[in-house]
Amino acid sequence: MQEKNKTRTSPVNPSSSTLHTRCFRHPRVDQIERELKYLIYPGSQTSVPMICGPTGTGKSTLARRIVETENEQAADQMEANPGLLPAVYVEAPNSGENEFSWRLLYERILDALGDHLDTPRSVYGIDPESSRMVRPYGAGRNNLASLRTAVERGLRARWVRFLVIDEAAQIIRHAHSRGRLQAQLDTLKSLANECGTQIVLVGAYDLYPLVSLSGQLARRIHVLHFERYRVDVPEDLEAFATCVRAFERALPELWDGKLMRHTDALHHNTLGCIGTLSGVLTRAAHYAETTGKWDDSALKRALLSEAQRLPILSEINDGEAAIGPSQTRVWEPRRRTESTRPRSAA
Ligand SMILES: Nc1ncnc2c1ncn2[C@@H]1O[C@H](COP(=O)(O)OP(=O)(O)O)[C@@H](O)[C@H]1O
Ligand SMILES: [Mg+2]
């Protein structure tokens, strides 16, 4: 048995395979966490804070951590009151259908609340032994309206302060009918109002148009721009370099003193996005460990190709322009500009 496991083991050194599980604090994360704290409090008029930014900045990682931290900080209260669940994280489903599936979303929320749809229930409330939510089990319990009611009751019964919906652009991705979409978005607003739960929407720039899709919701939304580290902001470049140093220190036997000199190239290739940087460096470490040596070619092989990088840059430029100067920090004068055209070969 042991031998079998051995032969299955990947030749990759565990240090590179665990790199993606490392999570470094960096200034942008601190900034978004701080701003979110200002928005989340009982009675806040901002019932729907929105965290929006480029793909690969680390939004999902941050969102999951915020929920974990909130629940960890309430550990004593949760022990005293087994029903309490201050923060919940779900990912909006991609049902593969033409319309967004609210049913799947509600089911995921109920699951996160500890409500198991197929278990018979007779009483509504919290089971003190399992800390799970229990609710009446009757005819038609799984139609959309009753799921929605179950979600409302669940959020109230568990005193959920905030619910994070990641990948929230799924909600508007297949919006064929504006009227129907507006009605659905308004259900988000009323969910928040009726349950006293703030709903934090997290997503890439394709989530941003939601602000203008529903007047009802727009008033309640506050956008937090989880920006990349920009090339034209000196403190951003410094923060990016600090992140490269943190990765260098995470694998000292491979990278000690060898990564920092590539900071500019890494910034250019990853567009200043720390999640993308993590992906590139994890790949590079993996190459180096499988070939048994580290050199610049391992890093070059791991970089995003221009066919990958340019569409991301184009999305970022569009997103930053849409969110606008009020949310985007630009330091003048510009030291370098970025073009979506490929660089000519040297
Ligand atoms: N602060 C961080 N430190 C180290 N790795 C990170 C950090 N933030 C994100 N990552 C890594 O980057 C990858 C992409 O991050 P993710 O949160 O999914 O980005 P996004 O949701 O913005 O697309 C993940 O594998 C994650 O582990
Ligand atoms: Mg994500």
Question: Which residues, other chains included, contact 167 with Cβ-Cβ below 8 Å and sequence gap of 6+?
Answer: 60, 91, 92, 94, 202, 203
Average pLDDT, the chain: 83
> Residue 301, SS3?
helix
The alpha-carbon radius of gyration of the chain (Å, integer) is: 23
Among protein residues, the one with the nearest Cα to ligand 1's atom 12 is 275
Q: What is the pLDDT of residues 270-284, one digit of tens each?
A: 999 999 999 999 999
Residue positions counted in the chain: 346
Domain ranges of the chain: 27-225, 229-346
Q: Residue 116: which pLDDT band, with cuts at 50, 70 and 90?
A: low
Residue 162's DSSP bridge partners are 87, 198
Q: Which of 2-11, 118-127, 171-180 is least confident?
A: 2-11
CB contact at 8 A, 280 and 309: no
Q: Is the CB of 275 under 6 A from ligand 1?
A: yes
Question: What dotted CATH number matches 27-225?
Answer: 3.40.50.300
Nearest to 125 by CA among 188, 82, 183: 82
List the structure tokens of 103: 């049913």
User: Over pLDDT 70: what percentage of the chain?
Assistant: 80
CB contact at 8 A, 163 and 155: yes
Q: Is the CB of 95 under 6 A from ligand 1?
A: no
d(CA 285, CA 19): 9
C-alpha torsion sign, points 308, 309, 315, 318: negative
Q: What is the pLDDT of residues 38-95, one digit of tens each?
A: 999 888 888 889 999 999 999 999 999 999 999 999 999 999 988 899 999 999 998 7
With 50 as the cut, is the pLDDT of residue 286 above it?
yes
Q: What is the pLDDT of residues 133-185, one digit of tens each?
A: 665 555 455 688 888 888 998 999 999 999 999 999 998 887 667 776 777 77
d(CA 30, CA 51): 13
**Residue of 17, 240, 244, 278 to mutate, ligand 1, most atoms within 8 A of C-beta:** 278
Q: Which ligand 1 atom is nearest residue 61's CA?
A: 17
248-267 CB burial, b ≥16 within 10 A, e <16:
bebbeebbeeebeebbeebb
Ligand 2 centroid – CA 197 distance (Å): 22
Q: Residue 91 CB: number of other CB atoms within 10 A?
A: 18
**Residue of 22, 55, 61 to mutate, ligand 1, most atoms within 8 A of C-beta:** 61
With 80 as the cut, is the pLDDT of residue 17 above it?
no
